[in-house]
Chain A
């Protein structure tokens, strides 16, 4: 590949990169604002500006939605397709809510002195997630992933004076570093066997040449990458870091990790394994089937381990972390239930559940932010007697918890339902059973929150003050959960219309 044959970025292509560029420019400008403004300047403004920037970026994404023919930029390494665009909207929405939650919290619980940095760090992290969603090249995928990871390492460790924060951040960076190394190591083999880092070219090369010759290496590459991605999406058995890291992180950061970071991991997994390994294999080495069988096993493990471990948790952040592990399992199911006679990729199901998951998880963290602001800790008992102290908030939390538990009629329920339907269509009965039985187990700890709020009395009786930002975040999440429950049709139809497996992945 000589430099002359490179497909260079044209100025006209910049329009396609507008969402990303918005974030970059905003991050740069905000950092300068933060630097140059005097100490007396209220840094919350940067938080609001961050939301504005996210909204602007989302507007650009929304304008691009519905592309017939995906646009490939930067020598085929960056794709603007509906797969990516929808996920980008998801990332942006999740980030905006996380920032909103932050705005309702005390400065000391977030970044202390560095509150300005705290806010605008969300931008590069989200940018990384967006790059992951859009890239069709191993290098690009990796760079995006690392931009996201490294920024979040810092965000977790932002509260420098808090010992658990540093500890969580350190654990996170060690685990994140190891997982990056695994992903990279796997990618290096994939590259070596095909001579390209472009996913489409990799797929074509693997399909053309047949894999018998070096099947072992290919399997090694797959398992290495899977291990790494398993860490990133916190699926069991690679989840051990999650509870510690979430506990160490500030509440909105934990929410961000649980939603945006995880969703980006799924984008990576989806794109990498679908595009990379689609129809790759031979009679002797059915790689493609093995890949998805492995994912199924991983999904089952995540669901079982996540839910089982969450049963004993008293700390709500750790609980949500483990619930996130279980949810990673649920989210893997539609990826496993892939192409069949009457079923093409679980994209719509996956994204629908992701949307529901976004709102319910953000809502749960907003609730935690409200409660821990009043009680000063993250323990379950902080919720005790909430019904008496803030009935409306308690009601909103009930809606969110119902959605998390997957009780009808909520977004969480329909998300799981459609995932199950897909799995059943593909005759993955065992996986469907595991999924549903484990989600029943999850009732126990989700309803534990309800037990605390309605059936116990707390040490204090005074009403809890809910800051407007937190209130908005909470109610928005609760309302979205309910709306998704009553009207799942439009969203799902929209997703179904937008996503085309053949064009979004293979054009």
Chain B
């Protein structure tokens, strides 16, 4: 592995991933939560693309993989927002803290 270059990309990806995870788990606004998940997936994309060039065995597969990730992320985001809209219509709020109708 071309350690230097790869590791800087990987570090960036790791940071993005952690920010995304933090946001997804702690933010109150549902839209931000969804965005955070997108951030996590994009961190993965960065990782994949970086590793496809600087990995142990460089190959194109990583970039192909990232295409699929992008697609899936798009679908997930689309459905996430759709569900959020349905929820907003029922509940009138997009605050994650208000999603507690089902505690027991």
Contact = CB atoms under 8 A, between A and B. Distances in A.
A157 interface: yes
Contacts of B104: 312-315, 318
Interface string A190-226: 0111111100000001000100001000000000000
B72 A139 contact: no
A205 B83 CA distance: 42
B83 A189 contact: no
B99 A167 contact: yes
Given A167-B91, A185-B43, A197-B65, 15 more contacts: A142-B68, A150-B72, A163-B101, A170-B87, A177-B24, A177-B80, A178-B24, A187-B65, A188-B51, A188-B62, A188-B65, A189-B47, A194-B56, A196-B59, A314-B104
Contacts of B68: 139, 142-143
B64 A164 contact: no
Interface in B17-31: 17, 20-21, 24-25, 30
A318 B104 CA distance: 8
9 closest pairs, A vs B, by CB?
A195-B57, A192-B51, A181-B40, A166-B87, A177-B37, A192-B55, A163-B90, A188-B47, A184-B44
Q: Which applies to chain B's interface (DSSP): helix, strand, loop or mixed?
A: helix
A309 to B, nearest CB: 11
Contact of A170 (B20, B30, B40, B52): B30
A207 to B, nearest CB: 14
B57 to A, nearest CB: 2
Interface residues of B, number: 49
Given A143-B72, A194-B57, A197-B65, A157 B86 contact: yes
21 contacts: A1-B60, A139-B65, A154-B83, A163-B91, A164-B102, A167-B101, A169-B87, A174-B24, A177-B80, A178-B21, A181-B37, A188-B48, A189-B51, A191-B48, A192-B55, A195-B59, A195-B61, A196-B59, A197-B61, A315-B104, A318-B102
B75 A146 contact: yes
A293 interface: no
Contacts of B44: 181, 184-185, 188
Contact of B86 (A160, A193, A205): A160
B82 to A, nearest CB: 8
Contacts of A209: 56
A201 to B, nearest CB: 10
A185 B84 CA distance: 26
A315 B102 CA distance: 10
